[in-house]
Structure 1
């Protein structure tokens, strides 16, 4: 039953001949990679949820990260770290989109590093100077923890939490940008 549902989903997403750039069927390498990624995805409720979410988000993210293996690895990390922090993974992806445009080596004018643009002073605060903020797993752990903290501090007010995360509390430009990316590109109905 699960196999048929996945095949149907793959068929819907990849077999529309009228869509530009889409193939008649998914590439075998992508299918294999997706299966391997699902096996390693330990933050999902069940395998079906993992397959559907990873395939959906991978398809959306393809224009930003062309390499399928890199994309699926990032998505698995985002889902794991966001789930640990009590955040929606699609919101975290929107924040990454706004902060770094998916560039793990991004450095801001004030020195914030990595995909989630974490300030390096946090390493000293935690007594972990060896941490590498351009490592996606490390960056996501820091960034998701920080955002989760600000959401609690702001009693769930996403706009204020995002402004705190960005250091722009009292302004709405940054939070509007993240929420816009979330709703327009990354939002997934629960």
Structure 2
């Protein structure tokens, strides 16, 4: 037997038993390693789902023109993106048209994130501190500080929930806007008197609804323009 062949035989006899003894380690189904791995994978899946949801909401905000509207807030670009997404998300969660929420914000604060009214209403949707605390408690958390109403996403969450609640209680957006502006108790008195009711409905509620209709019309024109751009242009025949 040649020297190199003999060497291979010896090497094979040495490696064979060792290779046969080696087995890769796979943790058991209920081992701590596998439990931790599953937990990490589940957390990552939740994160990916949330990212996809946020991307879809932002795409809707772009299509509705909300991303353009929130530029008036002059917030940093990243916060503008979160604000536009929050408007769509909270409107959908509360069964409202996002453009109605935009109209309320426009009329309440002109998108001034740090606006404070003469009676103390705060933020984009001009939420009163006591109302904010009540709405936060109802949602299962504490407002902690009134200045938290300057958090644009929180303000939208509370203000939109309040608007939806008032529409459910008062029956129509116009009547609900009376309550949003004057408070529910005062609104009942206003709406109970025909003369006062008509005067009040012609004011703030009419202003918001007019803005809402304008936003809807802008949206319709934009859709028409995009559809026209998609149509092929026939060349000379």
**TM-score w.r.t. structure 1 length?**
0.66
Alignment of 1:143 onto 2:143:
no
Q: Give the direction of change, closer, same or farther, for the CA distance of 1:123–1:152 in structure 2 (3 Å limit).
A: closer
Q: CA deviation at 1:124?
A: 4.2
In structure 2, the gaps of 5 or more residues are 1-49, 188-196, 221-237
Aligned-partner SS, 1:42? helix
Q: Give the direction of change, closer, same or farther, for the CA distance of 1:56–1:124 in structure 2 (3 Å limit).
A: closer
Aligned-partner SS, 1:106? coil
Matches within 5 A, 1:113-128: 113-125=122-134, 126=137, 128=142
Alignment of 1:85 onto 2:94:
yes
**Deviation larger for 164-173 or 93-102:** 164-173
Instruction: Judging by fraction of residues, say which structure has more helix.
Output: 2
**Deviation larger for 129-138 or 59-68:** 59-68
Aligned-partner SS, 2:167? helix
Instruction: Give the superposed CA RMSD.
Output: 2.9
Contact 2:66–2:102 (8 Å) recurs in 1: no
User: 1: distance between equivalents of 2:124 and 2:52?
Assistant: 20
Aligned-partner SS, 2:116? coil
Aligned length: 148
Q: CA deviation at 1:82?
A: 1.0
Q: CA deviation at 1:69?
A: 3.5
Higher RCO, 1 vs 2 (CA within 8 Å, ≥6 residues apart): 1
Contact 2:61–2:67 (8 Å) recurs in 1: no
1:57 to 37, 55, 65: 65
The aligned counterpart of 2:33 is none
Contact 1:58–1:71 (8 Å) recurs in 2: no
2:177 to 162, 173, 176: 162
User: 1: distance between equivalents of 2:182 and 2:122?
Assistant: 14
The aligned counterpart of 1:182 is 212
Matches within 5 A, 1:22-33: none
Deviation digits for residues 52-87 of structure 1, max 9, x if unmatched?
542541564266245543332211010111111111
User: 1: distance between equivalents of 2:131 and 2:149?
Assistant: 10
Q: Give the direction of change, closer, same or farther, for the CA distance of 1:62–1:124 in structure 2 (3 Å limit).
A: closer
Alignment of 1:130 onto 2:170:
no
The aligned counterpart of 2:109 is 100
